[in-house]
Amino acid sequence: MPDSKTPDFYHIDSLLSNDERQVRDTVARFVDDRVLPIIAECFEHERFPTELIPEMAELGLFGPTLQDYGCAGLNNVAYGLIMQELERGDSGVRSFASVQSGLVMYPIHTYGSDEQKKRWLPEMARARKIGCFGLTEPDGGSDPGTMKTRAEKKGSDWVLNGAKMWITSGSIADVAVVWAMTEHGVRGFLLEKGTPGFTSRDIPHKFSLRASVTSELFFDNCRLPESSRLPTAEGLGAPLSCLTQARYGIAWGGVGAAMACYREALEFCRNRVLFGSPLINKQHMQIRLADMVRRITTGQLLALQLGRLKDQGEMHHTQVSLAKWNNVRLGLDIAREARDILGAGGISVECCPVRHMLNLESVITYEGTETIHQLVVGREITGVAAF
Amino acid sequence: MRILTIVKHVPDSNVPIKVRPDGTGIDTTGLKYVIDPFDEFGVELAVQLREKRGDVSEIIALTQGPEKAAETLRVALAMGADSAIHLSDPIFESFDELFYASVIAEAVTKQSTPFDLVLCGKHNIDLDAGAVGPALAEFLDLAHVGAVTNLEITPDGRRFTARRRIEGAEEVVEGALPALLTIEKGLVEPRYPSLPNLMKAKKKPLTVLTSKELPGSASHKASAQIAYVTPPPPRPECKFIEGEPAQMAHELVRFLRDEAKVL
Ligand SMILES: Cc1cc2nc3c(=O)[nH]c(=O)nc-3n(C[C@H](O)[C@H](O)[C@H](O)COP(=O)(O)OP(=O)(O)OC[C@H]3O[C@@H](n4cnc5c(N)ncnc54)[C@H](O)[C@@H]3O)c2cc1C
């Protein structure tokens, strides 16, 4: 078994601090011991491994960058390495962690009242409470400004109506961060499971992220007290800032998935003897493997520098767009390439590339499609919005 | 009860080891090191004893190794040890487990309060001589039980019953504390150090001792040295027997008798 840094063609390991390395190796071990032995079966049977949640919480994988509330207070590079390792296991497992940390704990921490923070963050760090993030609606996720979910003020309460779609962890969540249009623009609400009028339904027939729960949420005259609104979240910028957090993690995750596929392809080429010699002896195969390493190395460097910028407080969301685009694209391309290299065996879920390949079809779409990120970068360099 | 757990910083067994071309040892460049998995059982056992009993007052982790070995101490601290001792000096570096144990023994004897229980792995995965535990027990004049698979300590903390597997049977050893036990796989399942605990471990006390504090190390030099290291011979090619089951069995017997000559 190769160690957790393979491939590390540019000795990027030496650019990491001891803390960062130790965090990565701890999570790598968890992924090797706990995730990899069960994940193919989960994917095949469309089952999210809920049994891993308490262990992930015990490890401190939820809200790991927060300083308080029982969290580890890691820097963003260490956080990225966690995401890389989780996605080396499976995008579904990484998605769960991304949502819990980046899309639920982050907005509560950033936009929540003290009371909301005290109530939710320690419970969420321990995963005694699970969260989901409801922004996308059935009529077009790329343009959330046109959302139809409405919150209306009635006396001191809010009344919520509408629906959200493609919501990760939707039906297993104890609380949903729901973004709704109000008279004064977009606002965020903490909607608890069991609130009258709030229902959910899982989305079946997925051929991607099968080891992850994806649901629809329905709000039929849900009454919410003012205290469940995130007080300082005003406008679309608030949910978009959450997405910046989660996309940052995905930029690392794409590399993790690529590393898993590369390792399996390399191992296969070492062992597969065709026309008298192992596949690694073939020029064409070497070019394909070398090209994987080229792409992974650029992705690793991109993610690391992005993390350093984030830790210095200098990361711009357009840089996150470029990294999400680049690293998910390289993950998807490498997964497809590895699938092909493995021949017929590559179509079996017993090999990881086909699973990663199918998963990454979701990852390239959610948290802003590849096209949207290209247009974000395009707008940044030209000054013209072309959406 | 004060517990000392000996932990060694060793190359990760999951990573292929390369032998230096001149045969002087293994190539350590880029090699990943981890806490020895058998020593890790000792740390886990110590922490579990504290969780189960009210009388474990202190758990100290001790390592001997280069500067980087502090990472292994940090894992032990994150798992639940209270403080750590790092024996770090180029003079201490050796491939001789007897010498290694003698350096540790000197450090342990210098501690102001004695230990009731000393734990280490039944062997270390790097040198694999299995001598550290018994040698250390000898140097410290402690009772020793090797490769323990089950342990009970009386409520008053004075006596223990340890079980160990021997060829075809299980041996039950009773004795009085203080004692040194080496741990076999299966006694406990080590926990993952959590990320918050890894961060907190940085704040726990860690004492570094060199040959200045442990002058004895200079006098009892290593008695054994590694002459040279060679890589294992390459695995011979696999022979596949094909055909119907009866035919394959026939061919297998013929092969074992006529070619491999083992029948
Ligand atoms: C498994 C999974 C989990 C998800 N989890 C969540 C979650 O937890 N919370 C949440 O809120 N959402 C979630 N999503 C939703 C996801 O964020 C959206 O699917 C995504 O934003 C795209 O929206 P859409 O599917 O409505 O596609 P659309 O926005 O309808 O886009 C359709 C196509 O048009 C392209 N396009 C869009 N605009 C332009 C343009 N201006 N020019 C050219 N092409 C354009 C897109 O790139 C895409 O190819 C999840 C999705 C999946 C698949």
What atom in ligand 1 is closest to the CA of residue A371?
47
ipTM: 0.87
Contact, A294 vs A8, CB < 8 A? no
Strand partners, B60: B4, B83
Bridge partners of A176? A132, A191
* Residue B69 near residue B63 (C-beta atoms within 8 A): yes
Identify whether B178 is preceded by a cis peptide bond (ω within 30 of 0). yes
What residues of A are labeled active site?
Answer: 367
**Which residues between 70 and 99 in chain B have a beta carbon less than 8 angstroms from any beta carbon of chain A?**
71, 74-75
**Residue closest by Cα to atom 39 of ligand 1:** A387
Instruction: State whether residue B249 sits within 8 Å of chain A by CB.
Output: no
Least confident of A61-65, A140-144, A249-253, A259-263: A140-144
SS3 B219: helix
Q: Do A22 and B14 touch (CB under 8 A)?
A: no
Element at B59 (helix H, strand E) = strand B58-64
- Let me know: does A75 contact A310? Beta carbons within 8 Å: no
Domain A12-125 CATH assignment equals 1.10.540.10: yes
- A365 Cα to the center of ligand 1, angstroms: 5
Cβ neighbours of B235 in A, within 8 Å: none
What spacing in Å lies between the alpha carbon of A241 and ligand 1's midpoint? 17
Q: How does DSSP assign B67-108, residue by residue? A: GGGHHHHHHHHHHT-SEEEEE--GGG--S-HHHHHHHHHHHH
Residue A281 has pLDDT above 80, yes or no: yes
pLDDT band with cut points at 50, 70 and 90 for residue A4:
low
CA distance A348 to A354: 7
Ligand 1 binding residues, C-beta < 6 A: A 99, 132-136, 140-142, 166-168, 209, 214, 362, 365-367, 369, 371-372, 387
Rounded to whole angstroms, how far apart are CA atoms A211 and A90?
A: 8
Phi-psi region of A68 (alpha: psi -120 to 50; beta: other; left: phi over 0): beta
Do residues B38 and B123 lie in contact, with contact meaning Cβ atoms separated by under 8 Å? yes
In this prediction, residue B225 has a pLDDT band, given cuts at 50, 70 and 90, of confident
| Beta-bridge partner residues of B107 | none
Is residue B166 very low, low, confident or very high in pLDDT (cuts 50, 70, 90)? very high
pLDDT band for A13, please (50, 70, 90 cuts): very high
Instruction: Say whether A73 and B199 touch across the interface (CB within 8 A).
Output: yes
Q: Which of A3, A25, A60 sits opposite B194 (nearest CB)?
A: A60
Query: Ligand 1: which of A101, A166, A207 to mutate, judged by most atoms within 8 Å of the beta carbon?
Result: A166
Residue B14: both structure tokens together: 């999951």
Q: Do B32 and A3 touch (CB under 8 A)?
A: yes
- Is B34 in Cβ contact with A72 (below 8 Å)? no
Structure tokens belonging to residue B12: 């990760």
C-beta separation of A22 from B201 below 8 A: no
* pLDDT(A171) > 50: yes
Asked if the Cβ–Cβ distance from A26 to B197 is below 8 Å, we say: no
DSSP state of B236: P
Instruction: Determine the pLDDT at residue A1.
Output: 44
- The domains of chain A are located at 12-125, 131-234, 238-382
What three-state secondary structure class fits B140? helix
Q: What is the DSSP letter of B19?
A: B
Q: Mean pLDDT, to the nearest integer, of B156-180?
A: 96
Chain B residues touching residue A82 (CB < 8 angstroms) = 195
Q: Which CATH class is domain A238-382?
A: mainly alpha
Residue nearest to atom 53 of ligand 1 (CA): A362
User: pTM score, two decimals?
Assistant: 0.90
**What count of Cα atoms within 13 Å lies in the side-chain half-sphere of residue A334?**
33
Dihedral sign, CA of A304, A306, A307, A313?
Answer: positive
Cα dihedral A115, A117, A121, A123, rounded to 10, equals 10
Contact B192 A29 (CB under 8 A): yes
The one-letter amino acid code at A204 reads P
pLDDT tens track for B93-108: 888 899 999 999 999 9
Angle between helix A317-341 and helix A283-311 axes, rounded to 10 deg:
160
Q: Mapped to the 3 state alphabet, what secondary structure does A184-233 carry?
A: CEEEEEEEECCCCCEEEEECCCCCCCCCCCEEEEEEEEEEEEHHHECCCC
- B181, B148 Cβ separation under 8 angstroms: yes
Determine the residue of A94, A136, A202 to mutate for testing ligand 1's pocket, defined as the one with the most ligand atoms within 8 A of the Cβ atom.
A136
Cα separation, A160 vs A180, whole angstroms:
8
Neighbours of A182 (CB within 10 A): 16
Residue A145 pLDDT > 60: yes
Q: Whose CA is nearest to atom 45 of ligand 1?
A: A371
Contacts of B14 in chain A (CB under 8 A): 1-3
- Cis peptide preceding A7, ω within 30 of 0: yes
Convert the pLDDT of each residue in B27-54 to its tens digit: 888 788 999 999 999 999 999 999 999 9
First to last CA, chain A: 46
Backbone angles phi, psi at A306, to 5 degrees: -60, -40
The answer to whether A35 and A43 have CB atoms below 8 angstroms apart is no
**Chains A–B, number of C-beta pairs less than 8 Å apart:** 56
Structural tokens at position B99 = 């010498």
Minimum-distance CB partner of B198 among A1, A22, A29: A22
Find out whether A250 and A322 touch, Cβ atoms under 8 Å. no
| CB-closest option in A11, A19, A58 to B194 | A58
Question: What's the gap in Å between A374 CA and the centre of ligand 1?
Answer: 14
B30 vs A contacts (CB less than 8 Å): 8, 11, 13
B171 phi/psi in degrees, rounded to 5? -100, 135
Contact flag B198-A58 (C-beta cutoff 8 Å): no
**Any bridge partners for residue A150, and if so which?**
A161, A181
Compute the radius of gyration of chain B from its Cα atoms: 22
Question: Residues B174-217: pLDDT tens digits?
Answer: 999 999 999 999 999 999 999 999 999 999 999 999 999 999 87
Residue B231: predicted pLDDT: 87
CB contact under 8 A, B14 and A3: yes
Q: Whose CA is nearest to atom 1 of ligand 1?
A: A362
Q: In what helix (H) or strand (E) does residue A333 lie, and over which residues does it extend?
A: helix A317-341
Q: Which of B12, B13, B79, B199 to mutate to test the interface with A (most CBs of A within 10 A)?
A: B199
CATH number of A131-234: 2.40.110.10
Instruction: Give the residue on B whose Cα is nearest the Cα of A62.
Output: B195
Task: Judge whether residue A292 has pLDDT over 50.
Answer: yes
E strand residue ranges, B135-210: 143-153, 159-166, 169-176, 179-183, 206-209
Cβ-defined contact of B12 to A26 (cutoff 8 Å): no
Distance from Cα A103 to the centre of ligand 1, integer Å: 16
- Cβ contact A58–B193 (<8 Å): no
Tokens standing for A57? 């919480």
| Pairing assessment for the beta strands A131-134 and A150-154 based on DSSP bridges | unpaired
Contacts of residue A2 in chain B, CB cutoff 8 Å? 14-15
User: Which value, to the nearest 10 degrees, does the dihedral of the CA atoms of residues A192, A194, A196, A202 take?
Assistant: 90
Q: Quick check: B15 contacting A, CB < 8 Å?
A: yes
Q: pLDDT tens digits, residue range B234-254?
A: 888 888 888 999 999 999 999
Chain A: give the shortest CA distance to residue B16, in Å. 8
Residues of chain A contacting B77 with CB distance shorter than 8 Å: none
Helix (H, G, I), strand (E, B) or coil at B175: strand
B193 to chain A, any CB pair closer than 8 A? The answer is: yes
Cβ neighbors of A3 (< 8 A, separation 6 or more) are: A28, B12, B14, B15, B32
State residue B226's pLDDT score: 84
Average pLDDT, chain A: 97
Centroid of ligand 1 to alpha carbon of A354 (angstroms): 22
Tell me, what's the pLDDT at B234? 84
Is the pLDDT at A92 greater than 90, yes or no? yes
